[in-house]
Amino acid sequence: MSVTVVPPTSAVLPDINTAPLREQTNKVSQQDMDLLSINTIRTLSMDGVQAANSGHPGTPMAMAPVAYCLWQQFLRYDPQDPVWPNRDRFVLSIGHASMLLYSLLHLTQVRAVSKDYETLGEVSVPLDAIKGFRQLDSRCPGHPEYRWTSGVETTTGPLGQGVATSVGMAIARQWLAARYHRPGFEDLFDFNVYALCGDGCMMEGISSEAASLAGHLQLSNLCWIYDNNHITIEGNTSLAFTEDVATRFIGYGWNVTRVGDANDLNMLARAFQNFQSTNNRPTLIIVDSHIGYGAPHKQDTSGAHGEPLGEEEIRLAKRNYGWPEDKKFYVPDGVYDHFRQGIGERGRKLRDAWFARIEEYRKQYQQLAEELFRMQHRQLPEGWDRDLPTFPTDPKGLGTRESSAKVLNAAAKNIPWLIGGSADLAPSTKTRLTQEGAGDFEAENYAGRNFHFGIREHAMGAILNGMSLVKVRPFGSGFFIFVDYMRGSLRLSALMELPVIYVFTHDSIGVGEDGPTHQPIEHLAHMRAMPGLIMIRPADANEVTEAWKVILQLHHEPAVLVLTRQAVPTIDRTKYAPASGLARGAYILADAPGGDPEVILIGTGSEVALCLEAYEQLTNEGVRARVVSMPSWELFDDQDKTYRDSVFPPGVKARVSVEVASDFGWSKYTGSEGHHLCIETFGASAPLKQLLKKFGFTRENVITAAKSQIARHGSIK
């Protein structure tokens, strides 16, 4: 099948076929340079995908003029310093179109940046990386990955995540401006956030959640560009997507504008100007485009979406562009210079001016400047932990969500950029910051530290990621069960190595009467299975303090803090081991006199108290038992073998794990012959006491299990 190739809009993009390329590059007009640059993006993308023999060529070909117009004319971005804090952010929410971004990073010669934020000399995406697109260790992986390729602002690939993350970036900028701007310094944080999305992003629920909140918050620094090409993998969007996107966004309170032809640089520029002059709401630019633009057999078909064009089709497309048909990875003379003179010059000046301004600011507002420095380097302020509470022994105790509220507030007092909120559950998760002036983050008060994400867990996760990418320290909270609703964003926190803090309460059947829909069972196992994430389920108030200490000092891991609704005793630390053992993930809380136990009881969170009760009785009966409090598998697995063996001596095979959840994975610590007191079903609706009995979480059952373990392993003395 052959379709008519939509010709370039000649008034805007002259047909470079009219003159041989060499001639053109010698003597070129601005318009010629525009087209030459756009076609370089297109052909690099096509060649990269072809060489990899996999990838998505069609959308980079279609969106090249849009990205070019934005980057070259508008983006305030210094390729020499891609971590300059006030740079505009560009998020490629259509992560599959990664070659578009890699081509831009290459042509603008964005520099690689080290982990310590030192700018290094080398180019982030050299031509060889593009030639090695999708190959092992190339800086051009299949989808853009934050922390792997400098210039990639956030990892994208799961559709919808990028746009939702961009909302978090826009929010963080508003917060920074509100907190740090002072008279005469109203421009320190005025960056814009642009996100390029497609039909897939628009269909995903997360974009609706995020757009709804962005509209509510009137984030005028946020611009989404929607590639309205009517094509997804299965074919035309008429198969599954016929809603009126413009009307939907108008309903959200957005400014909506249209560009009828993705090749029309004038209209694109006007749309971006329209965005920049809109100061009371976010902007959506709907751009009509032709996927696979210029490829005679594949344009406007899903065939241009996710597979290489093929050598012959590439040849024909290049012919349509007036490109040398046999040249691959070809960057014509003058293209690098052109970008250097456009985005490069503009960005460098803005960046240098910003650093000069910050120096001025430092002279007048030393304390605030110091805060900014530390925040941007993910450091904590001096004395951040000075007010963290310790809790007195209390057999009745308090819910770990209650103790967490105290610790969080004590920390937030000394860490001004620790900000966050909840998906409408703060009264239950107890994450509200209560100190004087903490306030609520609203359109009228961007300085507020309490965020109301609304009942939008998935977007909340992505927004936290976006906030963290701007380097404030965000936390979000909800019921643990609803981690199911945000797993996609949480996974990206871990993949991006962002120190986002998730506070999840109501962590088990302990929620009681709300029943199975609200009782997490397999969720601890879910979290433990995710690489790069630190989960902590503290046993009592003092472990909560220790948990926050660990979490706040993380640099590259998201943390999941799992807390109870119900009261748990505050353990007597004069009798049992100090809570500081939490930092090692698992520690011996109570031991057989002189050590050398016959059986080890391992508990987490609310079950540690039950283990202690059983331990006391076993000890009275002369059974040599040990209790290990194990709040974090991940922290424990990070310890050296000597420590791990000291907690779980290999010779002691009699082991009982006690956790009101699925036992998935526990054999790693109990051995295949150990006993797991656990729950294999979905819980039930009843008062907690009845539930504990129903599911067997009684002292007697722990003792019976301990004794049968000892009998089984034949080590009773």
- Smallest separation (angstroms) from ligand TPP to the CB of 237: 7
Residue 240 phi/psi, 5-degree rounding, is: -150, 0
By the 8 A CB rule, do 624 and 588 touch?
Answer: no
Residue 474 phi/psi, 5-degree rounding, is: -95, 150
Interface stretch with ligand TPP, choices 199-207, 242-250, 456-464, 701-709 (CB under 6 A): 199-207
* Dihedral, 246, 251, 257, 263 alpha carbons, nearest 10: -30
> Which residues, listed in sequence order, are joined to residue 474 by a DSSP beta bridge?
419
- State the number of binding residues for ligand TPP (CB under 6 A): 19
Residue 52 touching ligand TPP (CB under 6 A): no
- Smallest separation (angstroms) from ligand TPP to the CB of 127: 24
- Smallest separation (angstroms) from Mg ion to the CB of 73: 25
Kindly give the residue spans of alpha helices, DSSP state H, lying in 195-258. 199-203, 205-216, 245-252
CA atoms of 176 and 470, how far apart (whole Å): 9
CB closer to Mg ion out of 232 and 409: 232
CB closer to ligand TPP out of 28 and 231: 231
Provide the b/e sequence for 202-212 (b: ≥16 CB within 10 Å): bbbebbbbbbb
The residue type at 174: Q
CA atoms of 694 and 59, how far apart (whole Å): 57
Residues that bind Mg ion (CB under 5 A): 198-199, 229, 231
CB closer to ligand TPP out of 203 and 686: 203
CB closer to ligand TPP out of 306 and 578: 306
CB closer to ligand TPP out of 201 and 268: 201
- Smallest separation (angstroms) from Mg ion to the CB of 262: 12
Provide the b/e sequence for 88-112 (b: ≥16 CB within 10 Å): bbbbbbbbbbbbbbbbbbbbbbbbb
* Dihedral, 685, 689, 690, 694 alpha carbons, nearest 10: 100
Q: Assign 3-class secondary structure to 405-471.
A: HHHHHHHHHHCCCEEEEECCCHHHHCCCCCCCCCCECECCECCCCEEECCCCHHHHHHHHHHHHHCC
Q: What angle is formed at CA 99 by the lines to CA 94 and CA 104, rounded to 5 degrees?
A: 100
By the 8 A CB rule, do 635 and 536 touch?
Answer: yes
CA atoms of 37 and 59, how far apart (whole Å): 16
Which DSSP category does 324 fall into?
-
Residue 305 touching ligand TPP (CB under 6 A): yes
91 binds, among Mg ion, ligand TPP, none (CB under 5 to 8 A by kind): none
Residue 240 touching ligand TPP (CB under 6 A): no
By rule CB under 6 A, what string of x and - marks binding of each residue 1-40 to ligand TPP?
----------------------------------------
233 binds, among Mg ion, ligand TPP, none (CB under 5 to 8 A by kind): ligand TPP
By the 8 A CB rule, do 685 and 699 touch?
Answer: no
- Smallest separation (angstroms) from ligand TPP to the CB of 202: 8
Residue 101 touching ligand TPP (CB under 6 A): no
Quote the tokens at residue 532. Answer: 């790069």
94 binds, among ligand TPP, Mg ion, none (CB under 5 to 8 A by kind): ligand TPP
Q: Confirm whether 457 is a catalytic residue.
A: yes
Within residues 421-450, the interface with ligand TPP by CB under 6 A covers none
- Smallest separation (angstroms) from ligand TPP to the CB of 223: 18
Q: How far is CA 114 from CA 46, 63, 121, in A?
A: 30, 30, 10
- Smallest separation (angstroms) from ligand TPP to the CB of 302: 7
Q: Which of 46, 94, 536, 677 binds ligand TPP (CB under 6 A)?
A: 94
Residue nearest to Mg ion (CB): 199
Residue 165 touching ligand TPP (CB under 6 A): no
Q: Which of 79, 144, 168, 200 binds ligand TPP (CB under 6 A)?
A: 200
Catalytic residue among 153, 457, 546, 557: 457
34 binds, among Mg ion, ligand TPP, none (CB under 5 to 8 A by kind): none
Residue 158 touching ligand TPP (CB under 6 A): yes
- Smallest separation (angstroms) from ligand TPP to the CB of 505: 28
Instruction: Work out the burial of residue 411: count CB atoms within 10 Å of its CB; fewer than 13 is exposed, 13-18 middle, 19 or more buried.
Output: buried
Residue 529 touching ligand TPP (CB under 6 A): no
Residue 353 touching ligand TPP (CB under 6 A): no
Residue 228 touching ligand TPP (CB under 6 A): no
Residue 498 touching ligand TPP (CB under 6 A): no
Give contact residues for ligand TPP (rule: CB under 6 A). 59, 94, 96-97, 157-159, 198-201, 204, 227, 229, 231-233, 291, 305
Q: Which residues are catalytic?
A: 457
